[in-house]
Structure formats: structure tokens, C-alpha cells
Amino acid sequence: MIRISKEHFDSIAKLLTDCFMEDQLVIKQTKGIENPKEFLHNLFFLQIHVFHKTCEMYCLDDNLNSVIIGYEKNKYKPLKVLILSILSQFKLSRLLKSSDFKLYSQNLKDTSKSINLKWQKEFIKGNYYRLEVIAIAENNRKKGIFRALITPIIDYCKEISIPIVLETTTPENVPIYQHFGFELVKTIPEKGTGFCQYCFIKQP
């Protein structure tokens, strides 16, 4: 495992773009945007700057064909994240056509109603580890990379006795997480769209 540094940002942004282009949530957020692939690369590149300063980011090796991003709640700095996110949005607005940025802002507002990022409070009162992103290049899947990425985090959380939380909007991911001991504790459907958020916890 290697920690992601600044020279990796562009490669990781490309990886995330390739992995999430067909994600249901991303499709909603980029609806109507003229060049969604270019937009996503710019968006992820700026988001990675925020993650770099607020989360842990690792690749399996220097091939940069996988990434795992997460944080421990007790070490998380919400105010810092807010300030960095505002700066990131400002930079994004300068990179995009004004029409695309307005579309994205509206899409983001609409999709925020579909995603509940506080669901874990129903189940966990103390510290936990949140997995924000797991991405593996398509031609490197089913080769044990997911296990290699997630095992150090599972071991760390067992050692300090805290649960791991994550969510996905991709139904195909549900059995993968269950295979690694994550329990599907909540399913949050969006009325009339078929869109669904699957919420998981892995106890230590």
C-alpha cells in the first residue's frame, strides 16, 4: 500500500472518472452537462485535493489502478472540510462554463435529497471509520485487489474496536461488501425512481 501524494492526483482523477462515469448518482449529478467526462475529471481532481488534506488515501501499488479513501470520525475536522470544499467549488466554477456550473449546482442540490450521509447515527453512537471511496480499474477487478485494499483498514479497526461504515448506490456492490463481512443495515429508496442507497456496517 502506498499513500497518495500530489504527483498521483491526475492519475487518480482519471481512475475515478473511469470508475464512476456509469454510477447512478454521478449520472444524476452530471445530467445535461456538455462534456461529462471532462467535467468529472476536473471535479475529482479538485476533490482529491480536499481528501488529501482531510482523509487517508491509499493505492495498492505505484500502478495507480486502485484507490481507497476514508477517515476515522474522531480525527475528522468538519470545519476544515467545509472551508476546503467551498474553495474547491470556487475553483470548479472558474474551470467550467457558467451554464455547466449552474447545471451541476442544481443537480447537486437535487441529488442531495437522495443521499443520507448521517444514517449511521441510528446505529453508532461513538467512533467509527468511514470508507468514502473504493475504486479499482475495470481490467484489474477480480484479482484480489479489493481484499488487499480493505484488509489493512479492517485490521486497524479491529485493533481499536471501532466499526466501519460505507454506503453505495450500486446494487451490484451489495454482495461484494456482504462477502467481506459488512452487514446491510439500512436501505433507503428514492420514491418513484428506483434509485436506492445501501448502508453497511462492519463490526470489529
What does the alpha-carbon distance between residue 159 and residue 94 come to, in Å, rounded to a whole number? 44
Pick from 130, 106, 105, 110: nearest CA to 118: 130
Average pLDDT over residues 51-74: 94
Report pLDDT digits (tens) over 65-85.
999 999 999 999 989 988 988
- The span from the CA of 68 to the CA of 91, in Å, is 24
pLDDT band of 46, cuts 50, 70, 90? very high
Give the residue-averaged pLDDT of 4-28: 92
Q: Residue 199 pLDDT more than 90?
A: yes
Mind listing the pLDDT tens digit for each residue in 115-171? Answer: 888 999 999 999 999 999 999 999 988 889 999 999 999 999 999 999 999 999 899
Residue 9 has pLDDT above 80, yes or no: yes
What integer pLDDT is reported at residue 200 of this predicted model? 98
Residue 191 has pLDDT above 90, yes or no: no
**Predicted model pTM:** 0.90
| pLDDT (average), residues 28-39 | 90
Query: What is residue 192's predicted lDDT score, i.e. its pLDDT?
Result: 61
Contacts of residue 195, Cβ cutoff 8 Å, sequence gap at least 6:
24, 25, 28, 114, 169, 189
Among 27-41, 52-66, 76-90, 105-119, which is the least confidently predicted range? 105-119
What domains can you pick out in the chain, each with its CATH number? Answer: 2-202 (3.40.630.30)
Give the distance, in angstroms, between the CA of residue 25 and the centroid of all CA atoms in the same chain.
11
Q: Does residue 193 surpass a pLDDT of 80? A: no
Q: Is the pLDDT of residue 175 over 90?
A: yes
Closest CA to 49 of 18, 21, 91, 78: 91
With a pLDDT cut of 70, the percent of the chain lying above it is: 99
